[in-house]
Every structure is written in structure tokens, then in C-alpha cells.
Structure 1
Amino acid sequence: MIRVADLPDAHPGRRLLTGRTPFFVAPTEPRCSYCVYVPRGRAPETEMSVVVGVHGTGRNVGALREGLIPFAERHNLIVVTPLFPAGIDDPDDVHNYKAIDAHGIRFDLVLLEILEQVRVRWNAQVDKVMLCGHSGGGQFAHRFLYLHPDRLAAVAVSAPGCVTLLDNSLTWPEGTGDSQQRFGITVEPEAVARVPVLLVIGSEDDGRADLAATGYPGRSRPEQLDRLAESLTGHGTVTLKVEVPGVGHSAAGTQPPIVDFFAGLLADA
């Protein structure tokens, strides 16, 4: 694998591997892929921090990356946006990655392998990354937090339709009681509590009809977010909750407070 730092300044590969990159397959799971944004002005020898954005059900990865580019330019960060495609082994399955494992794929491990490739090719600092996700991406993000808190500097969860509670009396994905049997990882609330968390939702994002259609009748997205907030804070996690006025179920609409949250943590570092 070519490292950007190994290429001469005028090499065309430098142009291909900085700015908006192509999609690359995930190292051991070629059904998944990722793209990156790397500020062109950075020196390849300089180690850069990473923000990861995880798409929702619509898989609009391009718009997600575009929305994070100004933030990356201001703070000299690399943006990593994985693509977990719909229809793996089941042509109608649009949910696969949200609960972390499906069809024999551990999507959390896929992301960790992607980050290792990003570390090597772009000289990125991936020991602890900032992670955000909207809707289905928000589901993935908080579940990834439970399983890999040591890999996260901060997490922003936007408008998840269903949530996993830090409750060992419930099995995954409702709770964490069988995480050791399922993932080989025991969820440790004390470790989760060391990671700052933002919970964000639009004021017009009720989502009751959507959730009823997907098997969660009687609940709204705000109620789901409240359940997650109560579970996290009850186990010591410092949680900030933001409601964005006039915004519905919109990744773009909830992105500004996410960027502000991450920027504030960077300023305090």
C-alpha cells in the first residue's frame, strides 16, 4: 500500500490521495468501502487526527463527507466516511450495520481495519478518533462506543431510531447483557463514561410513523434519545443534549452542533 509520504511532491498520486479521495475497499471485507478527505495543504509527515462520519439508512456518504470538510480544513483533520452497503446477503436488508453484526460481518471490526489502513497511508492518529452518526449512523455510533470506548475521543449521536441501553438484564441490541457471548467484549460502563457524548435531534423530528413501520410502535425519536441519555448519565457519562429548532430528520440540519461539539473539545485539549 502506497503511503502519501513516500510520493514525490509532483507525483499524480499525491492529487489522488489528498482532497476528496476515491472509495477504497475495506481491508478484509471488500463488500464495504470508505472514502477520505485529506486537507491538501498538510505535510504528509505530520500526524493528523481523524473524525469518522457514519451514514444513515440512505447511505448518502458523499453529502456526509462534504458537510465535514470545512471542519476538517479549519482544524487540519482527516475525514473518514465508511460505506456499509445495503443488501448484503439479503437484497432487502438496509439495516445490517446498525446493530454492529449481521450476515457474519462485524461492522465495528471493519471500521477498525479501515482506520488502521488510514493510519498507514495518511500517517493519521487513529488511536482515539471522533465519531459521529445520524439516524442509523447514530445507532452504530453509540453501540461502537459501548464496545470500543478506548478508541474514541468523543461521540456525537444524532436521532437514532432505536437504542441500546447499558442494561445487563437485556440482550443485544436492546441491552448489553450478552455482549461477551456475542462479541467477546464485556461492556464496561466506567470506560464508556470516560468518553464525552453529544446527543442531538431536530425539534421537528418525531419519527413515530417511521419507527412503527420498522417494529418500534409507540415510541418517537426524541423518546428514544431520552432513553439513551438516561442510561448513559445514570452510569456516569458526561452527556450534552441539543435540540435543533425547526429541523426534522436531517443529517445536514443536525451537523452544526456536532461540529461545534467537536471543535470545543479540540479547543480544550
Structure 2
Amino acid sequence: MIDSSLATGPTTRHSLAVDPRTRYLRFEPRYPDPQRPPLVCVHGISRDAQGHLAAFTDWAERTGTELLAPLFDRRRFRGYQRLKASNRTLNPVAALDAILDETVGDRPCVLYGFSGGAQFAHRYALVRAQRVAGVALAAAGWYTFPTAAASFPYGLAPGRLPKPLAIDVPAFLRLPKCVLVGDRDVERDAALRSSRALDREQGDNRLARATAWVAAVNRAAAKIPGAPACELVVVPGAGHDWQECYEHGRMHELVARFCDDVCHAEQKHHLYVDAVRVATT
């Protein structure tokens, strides 16, 4: 259901049909390419979904990529980063499921999140790998590590994972993944979750935690046939401000390049499958 009074140029604001209080943004290019996975941009705790989406619209128009951005409002989705069910209608996983059902159906998307959005993105991919074509994580404050020795959201043991969600580790590890973080994102600001145990296990700043998580994921992926390595991209001259990351670090261009790579890999896979099908008929 489109709220036309809130349309902002080619980007429109929608109310979810199954829960009108949940909203999302959508950008549809003039000439959409159905072969390209949609890009879902997930905001951080500043909730500036429009600002994040706007960074990608020129690239999306040029490539025919559809853009989506959920709006996780502060009252109803207070703990969205941790997949916490903070409203009685939809938990954040179910909300994004419904957004995808309403817009792109069962087409897998590339999932991108910044800060708190990156927390949500990798945790969503852990429980919904079948809906994801690739994951790009920028400047997450902390991560769910691929270990059963810790409980969710710190590790893979069920812990506080909302029911009936279930983590599929092999499927997650087989997804293309990259982590982006500024080389100056080392401040321990008020938004950074910190404790003695968390600092010891993940590092004491976002750059250290990104580095540690990528290393842990790659150790786990090495044990899974077909699982690609997760790439760590350290963006020079960027701290934790997302506008600085985009304007000076050109982080959105790096994410767009990752999306292009995912798209090309999928196209090659489809060509291979088609060739095998022809050869065996």
C-alpha cells in the first residue's frame, strides 16, 4: 500500500499490507533488470533509511537494480539489531520477510546494513539464508560469532533467538560476504556495546571487532565445501559517521561493486546450470 503523500521523487514510502504500521522505502529504476538481485539497505540506530537509500539511487538507475529499505521505528522495533520481537504483530525478521513477499517475491536479495543495520543484516542472513544472495556489512558495533560456545546474539546457541527462528550456519557460510569498516572507526562512543567479556572476545572497537569476526567466519567457512571467503575492506579516512563514510570513503561505491560481483557470479552460475541441462537432455 503506497502512501503517495510521502513519496520522495522516484523513492516511495509504503505501508506493509499485513501490518500498515510497518513501513518501508522502495526505489524502482525506470528499466529494471530482473536478473539483478534487489539491494536491501538497513539503517542504523539513527533510522535515516532515506539517506542510505539515496546514496545508491544513481547506481541503481544505471544498473536496473531495485532498492528496498525497511523502516524499523524506535518504539515497535527497539531491538531490531538483535532480531528482538518488540511488537506484538511482527518481529523484525518477519517484517522483512513480509516486505520481500510484497515487493520481489522469492527473489534473493543482497542485504546491506550500516552499524546497527549491519548487526541486523548478518543475523537475518543466519536465519534466512535462502532469501539472501549476498551480505555486505558496514561498521557493525558487534557480531554473532560462528561458535556454539556462546548463546545468541553473541554466538550460535539458541539463547535469546526468537522462536520459531533457527540458524542455518552452513547456508550462511556459503553466502558471498564482505565487511566494510573505516580505518578511523576505533572510538568507543556511547553507541558501542561494551563489556569486559565482549571486549575480550571481539575487540574493543569496531575495526578490531570486524577484523576478528571476518577471521572467525573464514575459519568456519574453510570447513564447508563451496563456502567463499569473507572479504574485509578497510576504508581509509573514514570513522563511524555514515555520511563521512559515503562522501569521503565512497563506501556506497564499494557496496555497489560487491553487488555487481554477486550479480555476475549468479549469472555465471545460471549459464553453467543451463549448459549442463542442455548437455544432459
Which range, TM-score by smaller chain?
0.7 to 0.9
Q: How does 1:124-139 map to 2 (within 5 A)?
A: 126-139=106-119
Structure 1 residue 145, shift from structure 2 partner? 1.1
Contact 2:119-2:141 at 8 Å conserved across structures? yes
Contact 1:50-1:78 at 8 Å conserved across structures? yes
* Partner Cα separation in structure 2 for residue 264 and residue 49 of structure 1: 11
User: Which residue does 2:213 correspond to in 1?
Assistant: 228
* Partner Cα separation in structure 2 for residue 58 and residue 42 of structure 1: 30
Structure 1 residue 227, shift from structure 2 partner? 2.7
User: Which residue does 1:8 correspond to in 2?
Assistant: none
Q: Deviations 1:68-112 (Å, cap 9, x if unpaired)? A: 112211221110011001123xxxxx8521001232441011001
SS of equivalent residue, structure 2 residue 120: helix
CA gap of 1:176–1:183, structure 2 versus 1, over 3 A, is farther
Structure 1 residue 223, shift from structure 2 partner? 1.7
Q: How does 1:155-166 map to 2 (within 5 A)?
A: 155-166=135-146
CA gap of 1:181–1:140, structure 2 versus 1, over 3 A, is closer
Whichever residue aligns with residue 243 of structure 1, its letter is V
Q: CA RMSD in A?
A: 2.6
Whichever residue aligns with residue 267 of structure 1, its letter is H
* Partner Cα separation in structure 1 for residue 39 and residue 102 of structure 2: 15
User: Which residue does 1:28 correspond to in 2?
Assistant: 18
User: Which residue does 2:49 correspond to in 1?
Assistant: 61
SS of equivalent residue, structure 1 residue 192: helix
CA gap of 1:245–1:25, structure 2 versus 1, over 3 A, is same
* Partner Cα separation in structure 1 for residue 53 and residue 135 of structure 2: 17
Q: How does 1:141-180 map to 2 (within 5 A)?
A: 141-178=121-158
SS of equivalent residue, structure 2 residue 144: coil
Mind listing any 5+ residue stretches in structure 1 that lack a counterpart? Answer: 3-12, 89-93, 120-124
Contact 1:133-1:140 at 8 Å conserved across structures? yes
CA gap of 1:181–1:134, structure 2 versus 1, over 3 A, is closer
User: Which residue does 1:40 correspond to in 2?
Assistant: 30
SS of equivalent residue, structure 1 residue 183: coil
Q: Deviations 1:30-85 (Å, cap 9, x if unpaired)? A: 33210100012449xx6763110000110111111111112211221110011001
CA gap of 1:27–1:182, structure 2 versus 1, over 3 A, is same
**Corresponding position: 1:103 with 2:86:** yes
SS of equivalent residue, structure 1 residue 235: helix
Contact 1:190-1:235 at 8 Å conserved across structures? no
CA gap of 1:231–1:186, structure 2 versus 1, over 3 A, is farther
* Partner Cα separation in structure 1 for residue 46 and residue 189 of structure 2: 17
Quote the sequence identity (%). 24
Whichever residue aligns with residue 66 of structure 2, its letter is I
User: Which residue does 2:252 correspond to in 1?
Assistant: 255
SS of equivalent residue, structure 1 residue 109: helix
**Corresponding position: 1:113 with 2:75:** no
Structure 1 residue 24, shift from structure 2 partner? 1.4
Instruction: Find 2:261's aligned residue among 232, 243, 264.
Output: 264
* Partner Cα separation in structure 2 for residue 188 and residue 115 of structure 1: 20
Contact 2:153-2:159 at 8 Å conserved across structures? no
Contact 1:179-1:185 at 8 Å conserved across structures? no
Contact 2:151-2:160 at 8 Å conserved across structures? no
Contact 1:108-1:144 at 8 Å conserved across structures? yes
Count of aligned residue pairs for this structure pair: 243
User: Which residue does 1:91 correspond to in 2?
Assistant: none
Structure 1 residue 149, shift from structure 2 partner? 0.9
Whichever residue aligns with residue 216 of structure 2, its letter is S
Whichever residue aligns with residue 255 of structure 1, its letter is H
User: Which residue does 2:274 correspond to in 1?
Assistant: none
CA gap of 1:20–1:181, structure 2 versus 1, over 3 A, is closer
SS of equivalent residue, structure 2 residue 190: helix
* Partner Cα separation in structure 1 for residue 31 and residue 70 of structure 2: 23
Greater shift after overlay, 127-136 or 31-40? 31-40
User: Which residue does 2:275 correspond to in 1?
Assistant: none
Contact 2:32-2:65 at 8 Å conserved across structures? no
CA gap of 1:206–1:173, structure 2 versus 1, over 3 A, is same
